[in-house]
């Protein structure tokens, strides 16, 4: 993959994450398809579709299309780019063929409304697919969402990590963040790094709050999946949010309102932010000259050692596919060690299989990741993935608003969250009527 193509693909993946992104061993997936017979199989076209992302056909071929063609010579992969005229409704209305749909976890709840899912359990049994090799919390979410059935398999994943600018720490003579910290430890470290230097305000720690809440370490949901009512007004959710808000209201370094949502720029462009928590895509796409590294997220006292939730990308076989068996063979291949290693080396996604050796290969094709603490990218103990609903976007927006009111001192936590949950309930009710 050339540098330009990789950069474009990383941009597309970063955009996907902005919407609503180990232990044991695992062998290569075995599928009952004798290679000797491949040449005699009837040629087929498999159409792939990835809603809500700007992935181009060229990027798709670099990501997986070319490898699929190489592995299955009788298969011609096709790709429908998402854009004007190719929303899910438009693709369905046009009767375009669909075989495999690639989904961000944030789009999984919406996808079920199109009745395009295929139950995969019978194919998993037919082809001796070992789901036990998949990262536990990710597959548990798939089974939970399918109420015990499997409708999609993960392709790759990402998680939150704590990145830090080594040059700033060296400049101010402060020790680097370490593995095993609590959030209180990080707050103390952040105070040391929060200062004015040369007339320029420097910040200790900030994050993308919407993403941090989305993959929070306590597995707290935005919406109650049983009642479809806002769940982020609970005391645990408020306490968790207060933890992050204190970093934004540090005396003398209150973040200007116009910088909310642009914390990443303070880290990679302005370089006035010492520590930033986000998905590892920030390090993958950071300027090569930046002297940065990473450690796992600090943990909450009530959940010691627990990292962020995984934020996986899944794939589902369309119910309208005329080639479901072949489509499943392809899905099995995409979760094989061979393809998981490719995704990892190109820095396009963390492995979703329990094979530590594959994790070690992450970013090998990306010069700026050489010598970095890659192990930090993959939580040793990921938090269970919280339930997802079609109303999460509406609730997440209001939870983020409550955070801003709290961080900016507009109101206390009880007032901010009462106002936000009331508005979220109205937004959910309106969305349910559409």
Residue 38 confidence (pLDDT): 62
Radius of gyration, CA atoms only, the chain: 22
The span from the CA of 183 to the CA of 192, in Å, is: 14
pTM to 2 decimals?
0.89
Say if CB 204 and CB 275 are below 8 A apart: yes
Q: Where are the alpha helices (DSSP H) in 194-289?
A: 209-214, 235-248, 263-268, 281-284
User: Between the CA of residue 115 and those of 82, 89, 100, 112, 408, what are the distances in Å?
Assistant: 19, 12, 14, 6, 43
* Topology (CATH level 3) of domain 160-308+391-433: D-Maltodextrin-Binding Protein; domain 2 (3.40.190)
Secondary structure (3-state) at 319: coil
Cα torsion 270, 271, 277, 278: sign: positive
Residue 2 confidence (pLDDT): 52
Phi, psi of 44 (to 5 degrees): -140, 155
Structure tokens, 416:
């901010």
Spell out the residues 6+ positions from residue 72 whose beta carbon is closer than 8 angstroms to its own: 38, 326, 329, 330, 333
Nearest to 298 by CA among 274, 277, 318, 323: 277
Sequential pLDDT tens for the chain (434 residues):
554 445 444 444 444 444 434 333 333 444 444 344 565 789 999 999 998 777 899 999 999 999 999 999 999 999 998 888 888 889 988 888 999 999 999 899 988 889 899 999 999 999 999 999 999 999 999 999 999 999 999 999 999 999 999 999 999 999 999 999 999 999 999 999 999 999 999 999 999 999 999 999 999 999 999 999 999 999 999 999 999 999 999 887 888 888 888 999 999 999 999 999 999 989 988 998 999 999 999 999 999 999 999 999 999 999 999 999 999 999 999 999 999 999 999 988 899 999 988 988 998 998 889 999 999 999 999 999 999 999 999 999 999 999 999 999 999 999 999 999 999 999 999 999 88
Residue 406 confidence (pLDDT): 94
* Topology (CATH level 3) of domain 3-158+311-377: D-Maltodextrin-Binding Protein; domain 2 (3.40.190)
Outline which parts of the chain fall under CATH 3.40.190.10: 3-158+311-377, 160-308+391-433
User: Between the CA of residue 229 and those of 89, 130, 197, 216, 395, what are the distances in Å?
Assistant: 27, 37, 46, 19, 9
Scanning the structure block, which residue is given the tokens 């939970």? Answer: 144
Residue 26 confidence (pLDDT): 37
């Amino acid at each position: 993959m050339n540098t330009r193509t990789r950069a474009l693909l990383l941009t597309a993946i970063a955009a996907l994450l902005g919407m609503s992104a180990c232990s044991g061993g695992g062998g290569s997936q075995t599928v009952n398809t004798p290679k000797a017979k491949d040449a005699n199989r009837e040629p087929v076209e498999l159409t792939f579709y990835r809603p809500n992302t700007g992935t181009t056909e060229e990027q798709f071929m670099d990501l997986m299309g070319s490898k699929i063609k190489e592995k299955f010579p009788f298969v011609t992969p096709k790709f429908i780019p998402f854009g004007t005229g190719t929303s899910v409704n438009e693709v369905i209305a046009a009767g375009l063929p669909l075989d495999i749909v690639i989904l961000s976890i944030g789009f999984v709840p919406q996808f079920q409304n199109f009745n395009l899912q295929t139950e995969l359990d019978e194919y998993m049994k037919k082809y001796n697919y070992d789901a036990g090799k998949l990262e536990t919390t990710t597959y548990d979410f798939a089974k939970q969402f399918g109420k015990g059935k499997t409708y999609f398999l993960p392709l790759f994943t990402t998680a939150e990590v704590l990145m830090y600018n080594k040059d700033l720490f060296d400049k101010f003579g402060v020790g680097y963040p370490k593995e095993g910290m609590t959030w209180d430890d990080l707050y103390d470290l952040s105070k040391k790094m929060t200062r004015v230097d040369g007339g320029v305000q420097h910040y200790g720690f900030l994050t993308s709050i919407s993403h941090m809440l989305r993959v929070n370490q306590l597995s707290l949901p935005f919406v109650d999946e049983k009642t479809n009512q806002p769940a982020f007004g609970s005391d645990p959710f408020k306490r968790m949010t207060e933890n992050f808000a204190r970093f934004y209201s540090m005396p003398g370094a209150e973040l200007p309102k116009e910088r909310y949502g642009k914390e990443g720029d303070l880290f990679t462009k302005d370089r006035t932010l010492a520590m930033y928590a986000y998905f590892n895509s920030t390090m993958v796409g950071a300027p090569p000259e930046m002297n940065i590294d990473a450690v796992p997220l600090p943990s909450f006292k009530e959940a010691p050692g627990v990292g962020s939730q995984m934020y996986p990308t899944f794939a589902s076989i369309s119910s309208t596919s005329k080639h479901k068996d072949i489509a499943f063979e392809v899905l099995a291949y995409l979760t094989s060690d061979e393809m998981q290693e490719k995704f990892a080396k190109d820095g396009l996604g963390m492995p979703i299989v329990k094979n530590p050796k594959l994790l070690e290969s992450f970013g090998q094709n990306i010069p700026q990741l050489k010598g970095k603490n890659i192990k930090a990218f993959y939580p040793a103990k990921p938090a269970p993935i919280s339930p997802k609903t079609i109303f999460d976007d509406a609730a997440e927006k209001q939870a983020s608003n409550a955070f801003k009111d709290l961080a900016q001192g507009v109101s206390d936590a009880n007032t901010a969250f009462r106002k936000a949950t009331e508005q979220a309930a109205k937004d959910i009710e309106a969305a349910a009527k559409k």
